[in-house]
Chains A and B, each alone.
Chain A
Amino acid sequence: MTGPRSTRRSGAQLIWEVLLSEGVDVVFGYPGGAIMPAYDTILQYPIRHVLVRHEQGAAHMADGYARASGKVGVAVATSGPGATNLVTGIATAMLDSSPIVCITGQVSSKFIGTDAFQEVDITGVTLPITKHNYLVTDVDELGPTLKEAFYVARSGRPGPVLVDITKDVQQAMTEWVDDGSPVRLPGYRPRHALHEDTLQRAIELIDAAERPLILAGHGIVRAEASAELRAFVEKTGIPVGSTLLGLGGFPATHPLSLGMMGMHGEAWVNHAVQEADLLIALGMRFDDRVTGRLDTYAPGAKKIHVEIDPSEINKNVKADVPIVGDVREVLRALLPRVQKRTRGPWVARIEESKGHSAVRDIKHLPHDGRLFAAHVMHDLWRLTEGKALIVSDVGQHQMWEAQYYKHDHPRGLVTSGGLGTMGFSLPAAIGAAFARKDDEIWVVVGDGGFQMTACELATCAQEGIKVNVAIIDNGYLGMVRQWQEFFYDGRYSATPLKSPDFVKLAEAHGLAARRVETREQIADAVAWARNTPGTCVIDFRVEQEDAVYPMVPAGAALHDMIRRPAHSPIVETSEDP
């Protein structure tokens, strides 16, 4: 090395330098006045920029990237409208604990507070929907702040962090160098020590339980605890129900996997919850969609609640043994100490209650030429051997996906659970495509949700992205229509949906597209999409007024399910057709 090299560079350059040191190689964004200095300097760095069509898409892409990879996703936007367009995406990431960093430009510091052109107090707006946020008005604070942002986003219970950077900070020069010192956050406690006495109490409950049930949540996926969970289940013989976001954390095809629980969960799982004498909740937060009415929830069960966020303990369901900590560490601590057991009678009892439900399943309907979404999901699962990464949207199709696509692998399903954001899937899949370059990706989206962010088809075309889009086209805002059918005497207020010709729409973007109207066409269309380069769109014209069963009406007890009406003749088979 010769003499000291100058470390002087602009804030705009420093942004990308810190991002590179955080391992970022792709960002999703949209330029504008207040972020132009940063956009000018990105050209000097090996970071790919994906130009979105709406900033909401940028936040969802960062989120999809984060969920598919476990790394931090990054979205970039300008001040004012650019920043406010991120809001839905940030809230989506917040509710599902997804680590993203949003970088927004802000008007120059001297204009702050003056209602200057495109000035919005975005740190104020996003205060309740970020894990933390920052306004940077001093270029010497920029480096440490960005490092902190990444650290906060990914540690503890992950979440979105927004960094608002004034234009003058981007233009100013700084000598700051990263000396590798850890971030200084004296009040931040992402990790918690395990207490021997609570572990001991948990073990005693587990060993003594006759009808225990594991409730596996998103935390299993986030903490990469799938292997530990499997070892724990196989040693203790305890069956597993999953939350929507927990799907894939435990293999769906494992004999002790019961499937999804909750509002549209399998009947046998919900009954098992109600009959259990012990619930072991792992990385989940007893959302109302999971519990139904609280005062009748799992009345005979003691509860062990393992959760990284102490504020979730005793929020909805009182825990007999709360364990605050990383679920993988907790499982590792419990595994060698719990008794090896089988729970034969309990598992047999659950199995018995399955049989009856399975034959009423829509998959076993006598074939009458009609196309059901369940067929599409089931066949897609078969044809992709359960190995695709599915990114689902919000509505009936989301529930059918969760019921009929059997997820055996963690991070095999990306969906907006907590916020239930329609329009999430296509942009999230684009983000996921950058994280999982070798994996097959399918978007499963309703005709309604697709139209919320369909503009991102242009992003697919421009960036050469390969995802396959399965539109479950039922001509309705189906989930709302179903509620109207069940709870509003069938008054279909504002739910019939007239859509553009999706095939032509895709083609107008330069993308390949097809329509499927019968079950026979599914296999061919799926094979075609898998073998065609570039993003492919399939418009599946499914049964218009089908409903998702079972259903626990909002606020009802978990065992009070509306069941699929018996069809005649019932096909007596539990084999897949």
Chain B
Amino acid sequence: MRQLRTFVAHVEDRPGVLNRVVSLFRRRGYNIESLTVGRTEREGVSRLTVVMEADDDAARRIEANLYKLVNVLLVDDLTNAPNVTRDLALVKVKATPESRPHVLQLAEVFRARTVDVGSETVTLEITGTTDKIDGLVDVLRPYGIVEMVRTGLIAMRRGNSEVVREVGEVVAA
């Protein structure tokens, strides 16, 4: 089934690793919806979250291709697993003296934080699922969005479950 997929890849924190991962998606013709990279609980290990559209077969091959990169430690397709996902956005929206209360009220409904107030704008910070952020952006649009940036999704499995690996169990080399 073709759907938006969320992959998490644990990679060695070495120069060029991000380039290798991105190059792989480019070369195999996969379009990345969002990509984030960051540190993890383990020193020397970074974690990439990649969101992209793919069917089941393609998803399995993406995973297998990621595993072919020597610096990739672990790949987890979270798409259909119980998971927590978060995106963060900063939205600078027009706020005249008349519209400002409305904007701030909307922010409150969405639990966005006001991080800056200018003479003609308000900057909001919102964290949440993609849907939640899309929702805020939609209602702010009529007021005039001056600038917006989103970090892209990060994701984690829920509960105590460890990451599951499907392709090729490992035998000591």
Residues of A within 8 A of B (CB): 123-124, 127-128, 131-132, 135, 152, 155, 182, 185-193, 309-311, 313-315, 318, 324
> Which one of B23, B27, B70, B169 lies within 8 Å of A187 (CB-CB)?
B70
B64:A187 contact, CB within 8 angstroms: no
29 residue pairs of the A-B complex, CB under 8 angstroms, read: A127-B16, A127-B23, A131-B68, A132-B69, A132-B70, A135-B15, A135-B16, A185-B70, A185-B173, A187-B12, A187-B70, A187-B71, A187-B72, A187-B74, A188-B70, A189-B168, A190-B173, A191-B170, A191-B171, A191-B173, A192-B169, A192-B170, A193-B170, A310-B167, A311-B67, A313-B60, A313-B61, A314-B61, A318-B57
Tell me the complex Cα distance, A187–B21, Å.
Answer: 14
A127:B20 contact, CB within 8 angstroms: yes
Q: Chain B: which residue is nearest A132 at the CB level?
A: B70
A338 to chain B, nearest CB (A): 24
B-side contacts of A185, CB under 8 Å: 70, 173
B170:A128 contact, CB within 8 angstroms: no
Contact string, B1-38, partner A, CB cutoff 8 A, digits 1/0? 00000000001100110011001000100000000000
A123:B167 contact, CB within 8 angstroms: no
CB-CB nearest 9 A-B residue pairs: A311-B64, A310-B64, A187-B73, A192-B168, A132-B70, A311-B65, A191-B171, A189-B170, A193-B169
B12:A186 contact, CB within 8 angstroms: yes
With A189-B170, A191-B171, A193-B169 as contacts: A310 and B70 at CB distance below 8 Å? no
A-side contacts of B12, CB under 8 Å: 186-187
B11:A187 contact, CB within 8 angstroms: yes
A186:B73 contact, CB within 8 angstroms: yes
Tell me the complex Cα distance, A189–B170, Å.
Answer: 6
A193:B171 contact, CB within 8 angstroms: yes
Q: B15, B20, B61, B168: which has the most chain A beta carbons within 10 Å?
A: B168
B129 to chain A, nearest CB (A): 30
Q: Chain B: which residue is nearest A127 at the CB level?
A: B23
A132 to chain B, nearest CB (A): 5
B168:A155 contact, CB within 8 angstroms: no
Chain B interface, DSSP helix/strand/loop, else mixed: mixed
Chain A interface, DSSP helix/strand/loop, else mixed: loop
B171:A188 contact, CB within 8 angstroms: no
B48 to chain A, nearest CB (A): 13
Tell me the complex Cα distance, A185–B11, Å.
Answer: 12
B123 to chain A, nearest CB (A): 36
> Which one of A127, A186, A189 lies within 8 Å of B19 (CB-CB)?
A127
A-side contacts of B170, CB under 8 Å: 189, 191-193
> Which one of A128, A135, A310 lies within 8 Å of B27 (CB-CB)?
A128
Q: Chain B: which residue is nearest A134 at the CB level?
A: B16
B-side contacts of A310, CB under 8 Å: 64, 67, 167-168
B47 to chain A, nearest CB (A): 13
A522 to chain B, nearest CB (A): 46
Residues of B within 8 A of A (CB): 11-12, 15-16, 19-20, 23, 27, 57, 60-61, 64-65, 67-74, 167-171, 173
B70:A128 contact, CB within 8 angstroms: no
B72 to chain A, nearest CB (A): 5
B75 to chain A, nearest CB (A): 10
Tell me the complex Cα distance, A338–B60, Å.
Answer: 30
B-side contacts of A191, CB under 8 Å: 170-171, 173
With A311-B65, A314-B60 as contacts: A192 and B171 at CB distance below 8 Å? yes
A155:B173 contact, CB within 8 angstroms: yes
Tell me the complex Cα distance, A310–B170, Å.
Answer: 12
B-side contacts of A155, CB under 8 Å: 173
B14 to chain A, nearest CB (A): 10
Q: Chain A: which residue is nearest B170 at the CB level?
A: A189
Sample of 17 more A-B contacts, CB < 8 Å, known A135-B16, A189-B173, A191-B170: A123-B16, A132-B69, A182-B173, A185-B70, A187-B73, A192-B168, A192-B169, A192-B170, A193-B169, A309-B64, A309-B68, A310-B64, A310-B168, A311-B61, A313-B60, A314-B60, A314-B61
A311:B68 contact, CB within 8 angstroms: yes
Q: Chain A: which residue is nearest B56 at the CB level?
A: A314
Tell me the complex Cα distance, A131–B68, Å.
Answer: 8
A176 to chain B, nearest CB (A): 19
A-side contacts of B23, CB under 8 Å: 127-128
A-side contacts of B69, CB under 8 Å: 132, 187
Tell me the complex Cα distance, A193–B172, Å.
Answer: 10
> Which one of B19, B60, B64, B70 lies within 8 Å of A152 (CB-CB)?
B70
A399 to chain B, nearest CB (A): 29
With A127-B19, A311-B61 as contacts: A188 and B27 at CB distance below 8 Å? no
A-side contacts of B71, CB under 8 Å: 187
Tell me the complex Cα distance, A191–B67, Å.
Answer: 12
B61:A315 contact, CB within 8 angstroms: yes
Q: Chain B: which residue is nearest A315 at the CB level?
A: B61
B-side contacts of A193, CB under 8 Å: 168-171
A188:B173 contact, CB within 8 angstroms: yes
Q: Chain A: which residue is nearest B57 at the CB level?
A: A314
Q: Chain A: which residue is nearest B15 at the CB level?
A: A135
Q: Chain A: which residue is nearest B16 at the CB level?
A: A123
Q: A185, A187, A313, A314: which has the most chain B beta carbons within 10 Å?
A: A187
B-side contacts of A152, CB under 8 Å: 70
A223 to chain B, nearest CB (A): 16
A-side contacts of B64, CB under 8 Å: 309-311, 313
B-side contacts of A315, CB under 8 Å: 61
B-side contacts of A123, CB under 8 Å: 16
Tell me the complex Cα distance, A185–B12, Å.
Answer: 10
A190 to chain B, nearest CB (A): 6
With A152-B70, A313-B64, A314-B60 as contacts: A324 and B16 at CB distance below 8 Å? no
Tell me the complex Cα distance, A313–B60, Å.
Answer: 9
Q: Chain B: which residue is nearest A186 at the CB level?
A: B73
Tell me the complex Cα distance, A124–B18, Å.
Answer: 12
B-side contacts of A188, CB under 8 Å: 70, 173
A-side contacts of B27, CB under 8 Å: 128
A149 to chain B, nearest CB (A): 10
